[in-house]
A and B are shown apart, each in its own frame.
Chain A
Amino acid sequence: MDSLSSAAASSQAVQRQVRVQLTSKQEDIALPENTGPILVPTGLRRYALSTLVNNLLGSDKPIPFEFLINGTFLRTSIDEYLTANGISAETTLEVEYVRALIPPLHIASFEHDDWVSSTDILSATSPAASWASSAVSQGQERILSGSYDGLLRVWDMSSQILAVSPAPAEGGHSASIKAAKFVTPNQIASAGLDRTVRLWKYVENDDGFSGKISPQLELFGHKSGINSLAVHAPLNRVLSASNDHTVGFWSTKKSDAPAAPEEALPSKASKSSKRRKLNPSVSTPQRGPLALFSGHTAPVSAAIFDAKDSTVGYSTSWDHTLRTWDLVTSALVDTRTTSHSLLSLEHLPEVHLLATGTSARHITLIDPRVSAATVAAMTLRGHTNAVVTLSRDPHSTYGLISGSHDGTCRIWDIRSTKTDKDGVVGESVYTISRKSLEEEGKADSKRVGGEGVKVFGVSWDKTVGIVSAGEDKRLQINRGEGVLPSKI
């Protein structure tokens, strides 16, 4: 080691040098023995440092690394970093290195008949599989899509449709689906503009090339379209966010659920029943909500379970508030008011933050804990239209992905920041644009209002990658190949 550092020192004797202590929290890329501080020239940037670490590791295939100093990514040379932060070159820098995110590359696009509103992934690493008793085997990953034509589709990775939900006449959704989720590998929840939450039984044939989605339960209670769903399989609970200003709390079990409210059933409305010819062939059990949380004063855009404590739910609404609910007592615990309509929600449990996408084109990170002094911990800026969907990074507790009506998905790392006039704001690490635009040869052209390419749903899984659904009638799968440690 000494020879290496001395060689580096002699070659760049004119430059300043700084002592760095390289560490990593990941076992497989930790340095072989406890190397002491290394003297490196301050002119080095990320790439040079990455080469250095690869040399030290002696790995045959170079792994790109990112370097964290005091919790933020190194984006400049070390020298500039030291100057900007007023750190003396005499001190020893604690530098943590992590695997760099590989630019997610387009893998495949699944074409639909109509706009795709939502998507979910079933894989060995997805929450639905983790909750289930039977693990999903390798190569049996499934992708669920809910579309504006009112149909759910289950795809395998080779872009084959394994199953399609029944038409409205056979107990399917009578209007567009806005949210769809795997509850377990065999159960699907979906909701949409027809004001119902539906639970489906998904059975695959043994050959694994076809399956069947059959209605299991219809949940009535909302008075207006449902925007999003959150499921929690161990508790058999579903949260729904509706335009009627309420958050629905449902049970997936027929036996648990109370009877459906009479007035919400479509058969009660004389006119619509005439028109719609309600399911004559299939009779699905109809149930009502466990509770409808009212408190919001505008359409509720998203509702989720707390990732750690399943008795806590969060919801965001167009009324600018983020509300915390105690699911056991159905009580409103806390209200956080922001200055914009909130359109999406995701929980980052490790850093105790809630990420919420706003109509003002940014993502606000909110600390939901009562002790938190400020409402907005950080703002992530970069989108050019409303941010309507969010998903956690399965690899990192600091990462997330957002989908916006501007037709892009952006990957964020909350440690990647820059200082703006508004303080510290987050920068996106990568931007995924729609493949459909590139295919039309208009990859560079900017669509006004994301016309035709709006992203409605995004989902990120360790195995499958990033799946986004949009107005271009496609599911788009992107994956950074090198990211995956298991090298599928």
Chain B
Amino acid sequence: MGASKKRKAVTRDVEEEAGVFSGDELNANDLDGALSDNANDLSDSEDDGSDSEIDLVDEFSDEDEDDEELDSDEVPSDDEDLVKKTKTTATKAVVLDRTSEDQDENSSDDEMPNFRIEKDANGNDRYVYDEINPDDNSDYSEVDENANTIGDIPLSFYDQYPHIGYSINGKKIMRPAKGEALDALLDSIEIPKGWTGLTDPSTGKPLELSQDELELLKKIQLNEIPQEGYNPYEPTVEWFTSKQEVMPLSAAPEPKRRFVPSKHEAKRVMKIVKAIREGRILPYKPPTEDQEADQYVAKYDLWADEAERPDHPMHVPAPKLPPPGYEESYHPPPEYLPDKKERKEWEETDPEDREKDFLANDFGSLRKVPGYETFVKEKFERCLDLYLAPRVRRSKLNIDPESLLPKLPSPEELKPFPTTCATVFRGHKGRVRSLSVDPSGVWLATGGDDGTVRVWELLTGRQLWSVKVSDEEAVNVVRWRPGKEAVVLAAASGDDIFLAVPPIVDPETEKASLELLDAGWGYAAPNPALSAADANKTTTPPQWIRPSSTLTEAGVCAVIPLKYVVKSISWHRRGDYFVTVCPGSSTPASVAISIHTVSKHLTQFPFRRRIKGGGPPQTAHFHPSKPILFVANQRTIRAYDLSRQLLVKILQPGARWISSFDIHPTSSTASGGDNVIIGSYDRRLLWHDVDLSARPYKTLRYHKKAIRAVKFHPGGRYPLFADASDDGSLQIFHGSVTGDMLSNASIVPLKVLKGHKITGELGVLDLDWHPREAWCVSAGADGTCRLWM
């Protein structure tokens, strides 16, 4: 028992050590070393090695050692260095093993001699055995003195003897008396006739009862009539008839005296009247002696000294019953009397539900009023009301519930915002995964499951350009480069990022765009040729390559092979950088987020390690005006200052899985703080005021299914934002940020845009705003894109 406890203590100790190390910011080598040492010790202590058995001999000599070890075990000194620690644990292990040895020791006792040899008087050897001292567990038990010692023979052998065996002391054990013998004894004793065992108190002699007396007693006992010959069921004799006769016995007319006042009575009354007049009779008796005596019985008049109380909020007077009205009258006006229908209705309703407890009743005169049957019940209930009903002054809030609602402006005042579908872009086979409106607001780029990137005329829905970048992989994201001096479209399909210049622009801009993309080819060369080992490492930045000739012909200018599926692209506002995120769970943390420099054809991986907590990164955006990069993983958003290379902010929206987020384009310049909207797969749209709190300022749960994309209106011309959800709808919100730090952003839901069909549990996959107008476009899983204006 003790050993197992100790063992537990030791293992726990080691675990704690490991915990401390993993929590600390040690460098990897230290950590590895420490952890591995401990592991060795653990394995040592756990196996029953031979070396511990050798130690066992020493341990046996002194018992104290055990305690000592326990002490050091239980209270480990803080500054104990690791080496010593391991040593003690080793010795502890030795101690632990001893118990198992103890058990072994018992088994080896048989081989040891249990006698000693002494010389007797003759000089011969004499074996003196140790005293056998049976302990509690021994089989020897206390012998019963009177136990029969005849052994294992049948008792029938003693049948002819008066005894049945012998005790341990050799005495005969006599056969016990049997029932027949007892009966015989009892029969031998004679009882006299009429013996009762009682003593007659008058004579002092034994009381004897005769047979008749005993029978009488028996009858009384049986509750019978003691008299002999009494029939309790004799037939009745009808002395008076029970039948009522129709005719009275006498037909004589009523005598006159029954109708005239009695003179005798009048005389007596006049006598009393006279006596009252003279004062000989007092009409009201003075209180008699009895009533005077009652005064000594304690009586309490609760209301005797009740004074008018000042009006106090804590004092609530008992409610008064309303005074009776016409209805309660014994002879109410006919209009108060219920007609048949009302009466029936009243009778049929449950007493609980009745509007009033009584029905008006016309009795004609007061003497015809019968006793009020519910009088007692009513008074009782009134008393219950008075003393059981808690009386609380209810301070009724006189607040118009409407006034508690925030004053939201009506959507009419917040126009313009998109309300109807203006154009449907049809052409993609399969889902449209992503779309983007170009900075000039004339074209729309889309990418879908069919592996094509298409460019459309925004207003008319005319497809202008299409390129199939991948045969099997879907195009996950398309984004136009910001800035009007060049027209560059970035698209990600599978592991590759494609940079294209669609041939829809004028020669001058096209040339500028091509030059922009071609400028980097020179930079790629100076990079030293990588050794084979380096190339195998995943963290090696990829080389930008030229696309195949068919893609070049179509307008694609550069391809970045990233080895992992890219799901998010976001451009820096200057158009020289863009950040991509590979959110796949198998993507190594070091290459999940990459920043690409267009002018140098350079790809960098800014993060070496995975962001702690919240799973793989989902999406990333540059701040619209500051050198800050926002990175979202499944549960948090972190803001990194790129110039100082610092983590500046962590947002915890409380969503389980962030799908997308967007940063307010102008709030940092207008109000000094950033506002971020976050959409999550658990149907929430969250508005964050970054300076206010790490928690969301507003949570909007209006969608039935996951939110796929959220977007602010760019440029800040219209205070609008929208989200796209799997339930096939977009929701448009007004979200204005004031320059005043004290006032919060006002968020008004404006419009639900429905139209996309839900295909395979997916609705709207992406949305984008027109750069100038209050128009938005959405990409649906039903293969269409829609322009809403």
Judge: A and B partners, yes or no. Answer: yes
Indicate if A302 sits at the interface (CB-CB under 8 A): no
**How long is the Cα–Cα vector from A115 to B423 in the complex, in angstroms?**
15
The 8 Å CB contact of A298, one of B421, B441, B505, B787, is B441
Name the B residues within 8 Å of A277 (CB-CB). none
Indicate if B510 sits at the interface (CB-CB under 8 A): yes
User: By the criterion CB–CB under 8 Å, are A386 and B507 in contact?
Assistant: no
Q: Indicate whether A193 sits within 8 Å of B508 (C-beta atoms), given known contacts A386-B422, A386-B789, A405-B423.
A: no
Q: Indicate whether A115 sits within 8 Å of B462 (C-beta atoms), given known contacts A275-B503, A319-B772.
A: yes
Name the A residues within 8 Å of B514 (CB-CB). 271
Name the A residues within 8 Å of B786 (CB-CB). 449
Indicate if B442 sits at the interface (CB-CB under 8 A): yes
Indicate if A463 sits at the interface (CB-CB under 8 A): no
**How long is the Cα–Cα vector from A299 to B464 in the complex, in angstroms?**
18
The minimal Cβ–Cβ distance linking B732 to chain A, given in whole angstroms, is 15
Give A261's nearest chain B residue, CB to CB. Answer: B508
User: By the criterion CB–CB under 8 Å, are A448 and B464 in contact?
Assistant: no
**How long is the Cα–Cα vector from A137 to B613 in the complex, in angstroms?**
83
User: By the criterion CB–CB under 8 Å, are B462 and A176 in contact?
Assistant: yes
The minimal Cβ–Cβ distance linking B510 to chain A, given in whole angstroms, is 6
Name the A residues within 8 Å of B511 (CB-CB). 268-271
Q: Indicate whether A386 sits within 8 Å of B459 (C-beta atoms), given known contacts A244-B506, A266-B507, A269-B511.
A: yes
A contact residues, total (Cβ < 8 Å): 44
**How long is the Cα–Cα vector from A188 to B401 in the complex, in angstroms?**
69
- Max chain B CB contacts within 10 Å: which of A339, A449, A454? A449
The 8 Å CB contact of B506, one of A224, A343, A454, is A224
Name the B residues within 8 Å of A356 (CB-CB). none
Name the B residues within 8 Å of A318 (CB-CB). 441, 772-773
Give B552's nearest chain A residue, CB to CB. Answer: A271
**How long is the Cα–Cα vector from A409 to B503 in the complex, in angstroms?**
34
User: By the criterion CB–CB under 8 Å, are A243 and B440 in contact?
Assistant: yes
The 8 Å CB contact of A448, one of B416, B442, B509, B755, is B755
The minimal Cβ–Cβ distance linking A381 to chain B, given in whole angstroms, is 14
The minimal Cβ–Cβ distance linking B788 to chain A, given in whole angstroms, is 9
Indicate if A148 sits at the interface (CB-CB under 8 A): yes
**How long is the Cα–Cα vector from A299 to B462 in the complex, in angstroms?**
17
The 8 Å CB contact of A360, one of B416, B423, B462, is B416
The minimal Cβ–Cβ distance linking B311 to chain A, given in whole angstroms, is 54
User: By the criterion CB–CB under 8 Å, are B420 and A451 in contact?
Assistant: no
User: By the criterion CB–CB under 8 Å, are B508 and A449 in contact?
Assistant: no
Indicate if B553 sits at the interface (CB-CB under 8 A): yes
Indicate if B649 sits at the interface (CB-CB under 8 A): no
Indicate if B424 sits at the interface (CB-CB under 8 A): yes
User: By the criterion CB–CB under 8 Å, are A264 and B503 in contact?
Assistant: no
User: By the criterion CB–CB under 8 Å, are A359 and B789 in contact?
Assistant: yes
Name the A residues within 8 Å of B553 (CB-CB). 275
The minimal Cβ–Cβ distance linking A153 to chain B, given in whole angstroms, is 18
The 8 Å CB contact of A264, one of B420, B426, B507, is B507
Indicate if A292 sits at the interface (CB-CB under 8 A): no
Q: Indicate whether A223 sits within 8 Å of B509 (C-beta atoms), given known contacts A275-B553, A298-B772, A340-B416.
A: yes
Per-residue 0/1 for A385-409: is the Cβ within 8 Å of any B Cβ (1 yes, 0 no)? Answer: 1101000000000000000010000
User: By the criterion CB–CB under 8 Å, are A359 and B773 in contact?
Assistant: yes
Indicate if B146 sits at the interface (CB-CB under 8 A): no
User: By the criterion CB–CB under 8 Å, are B503 and A272 in contact?
Assistant: yes
User: By the criterion CB–CB under 8 Å, are A451 and B464 in contact?
Assistant: no
Give A266's nearest chain B residue, CB to CB. Answer: B507
Q: Which of B735-789 contact A (CB under 8 A)?
A: 755, 772-773, 775, 786-787, 789
Indicate if A341 sits at the interface (CB-CB under 8 A): yes
Give A299's nearest chain B residue, CB to CB. Answer: B442
The 8 Å CB contact of A299, one of B423, B441, B504, B505, is B441
Q: Indicate whether A405 sits within 8 Å of B462 (C-beta atoms), given known contacts A224-B506, A449-B786.
A: no
Indicate if A155 sits at the interface (CB-CB under 8 A): no
Indicate if A326 sits at the interface (CB-CB under 8 A): no
User: By the criterion CB–CB under 8 Å, are B422 and A449 in contact?
Assistant: yes
**How long is the Cα–Cα vector from A388 to B349 in the complex, in angstroms?**
71
Indicate if B550 sits at the interface (CB-CB under 8 A): no
**How long is the Cα–Cα vector from A318 to B511 in the complex, in angstroms?**
26
User: By the criterion CB–CB under 8 Å, are B422 and A243 in contact?
Assistant: no
Name the B residues within 8 Å of A268 (CB-CB). 507-508, 511
Name the B residues within 8 Å of A243 (CB-CB). 440, 442
Name the A residues within 8 Å of B199 (CB-CB). none
Give B504's nearest chain A residue, CB to CB. Answer: A193
**How long is the Cα–Cα vector from A248 to B610 in the complex, in angstroms?**
56
B contact residues, total (Cβ < 8 Å): 35
**How long is the Cα–Cα vector from A193 to B460 in the complex, in angstroms?**
13
Name the A residues within 8 Å of B460 (CB-CB). 115, 405, 454, 456, 471
Per-residue 0/1 for B649-661: is the Cβ within 8 Å of any A Cβ (1 yes, 0 no)? Answer: 0000000000000
Name the B residues within 8 Å of A386 (CB-CB). 422, 459, 789
Name the B residues within 8 Å of A244 (CB-CB). 506
The minimal Cβ–Cβ distance linking A452 to chain B, given in whole angstroms, is 9
Name the B residues within 8 Å of A269 (CB-CB). 507-508, 510-511
Per-residue 0/1 for B480-516: is the Cβ within 8 Å of any A Cβ (1 yes, 0 no)? Answer: 0000000000000000000000011111111100100
Q: Indicate whether A263 sits within 8 Å of B508 (C-beta atoms), given known contacts A385-B422, A448-B421.
A: yes
Q: Which of B428-465 contact A (CB under 8 A)?
A: 440-442, 457, 459-462, 464
- Max chain B CB contacts within 10 Å: which of A195, A299, A384? A299
Per-residue 0/1 for B122-150: is the Cβ within 8 Å of any A Cβ (1 yes, 0 no)? Answer: 00000000000000000000000000000
Q: Which of A135-170 contact B (CB under 8 A)?
A: 148
The minimal Cβ–Cβ distance linking B786 to chain A, given in whole angstroms, is 7
User: By the criterion CB–CB under 8 Å, are B459 and A449 in contact?
Assistant: no
User: By the criterion CB–CB under 8 Å, are B506 and A223 in contact?
Assistant: yes
**How long is the Cα–Cα vector from A203 to B506 in the complex, in angstroms?**
32
Name the A residues within 8 Å of B441 (CB-CB). 298-299, 318
Indicate if A265 sits at the interface (CB-CB under 8 A): yes
Name the A residues within 8 Å of B507 (CB-CB). 263-266, 268-269, 272
User: By the criterion CB–CB under 8 Å, are B422 and A405 in contact?
Assistant: yes
Q: Which of B400-427 contact A (CB under 8 A)?
A: 415-416, 420-424, 426
The 8 Å CB contact of B508, one of A223, A299, A360, A471, is A223
Q: Indicate whether A385 sits within 8 Å of B420 (C-beta atoms), given known contacts A115-B462, A449-B787.
A: yes
Per-residue 0/1 for A289-312: is the Cβ within 8 Å of any B Cβ (1 yes, 0 no)? Answer: 000000000110000000000000
Name the B residues within 8 Å of A456 (CB-CB). 460
Name the B residues within 8 Å of A265 (CB-CB). 507
**How long is the Cα–Cα vector from A451 to B440 in the complex, in angstroms?**
24
The minimal Cβ–Cβ distance linking A22 to chain B, given in whole angstroms, is 43
The minimal Cβ–Cβ distance linking B557 to chain A, given in whole angstroms, is 10
User: By the criterion CB–CB under 8 Å, are B424 and A449 in contact?
Assistant: yes
Name the A residues within 8 Å of B416 (CB-CB). 339-340, 360
Name the B residues within 8 Å of A450 (CB-CB). 423
Q: Which of A296-340 contact B (CB under 8 A)?
A: 298-299, 318-319, 339-340
Q: Which of B346-368 contact A (CB under 8 A)?
A: none
The minimal Cβ–Cβ distance linking B598 to chain A, given in whole angstroms, is 18
Name the B residues within 8 Å of A343 (CB-CB). 459
Give A361's nearest chain B residue, CB to CB. Answer: B420
Name the B residues within 8 Å of A359 (CB-CB). 422, 773, 775, 789
Name the A residues within 8 Å of B415 (CB-CB). 339
Per-residue 0/1 for A427-457: is the Cβ within 8 Å of any B Cβ (1 yes, 0 no)? Answer: 0000000000000000000001111001010
Give A268's nearest chain B residue, CB to CB. Answer: B507
**How long is the Cα–Cα vector from A225 to B509 in the complex, in angstroms?**
13
Give A448's nearest chain B residue, CB to CB. Answer: B421
Name the B residues within 8 Å of A271 (CB-CB). 503, 510-511, 514
- Max chain A CB contacts within 10 Å: which of B422, B423, B457? B422
Give B459's nearest chain A residue, CB to CB. Answer: A386
The minimal Cβ–Cβ distance linking A299 to chain B, given in whole angstroms, is 6
The list of the 5 closest CB pairs from A to B, nearest first, reads A269-B507, A223-B506, A449-B421, A451-B424, A449-B424
6 A-B contact pairs sorted by A residue (CB < 8 Å): A223-B509, A275-B503, A318-B441, A343-B459, A450-B423, A471-B460
Q: What residues make up the interface of B, taking CB atoms closer than 8 Å to A?
A: 415-416, 420-424, 426, 440-442, 457, 459-462, 464, 503-511, 514, 553, 755, 772-773, 775, 786-787, 789
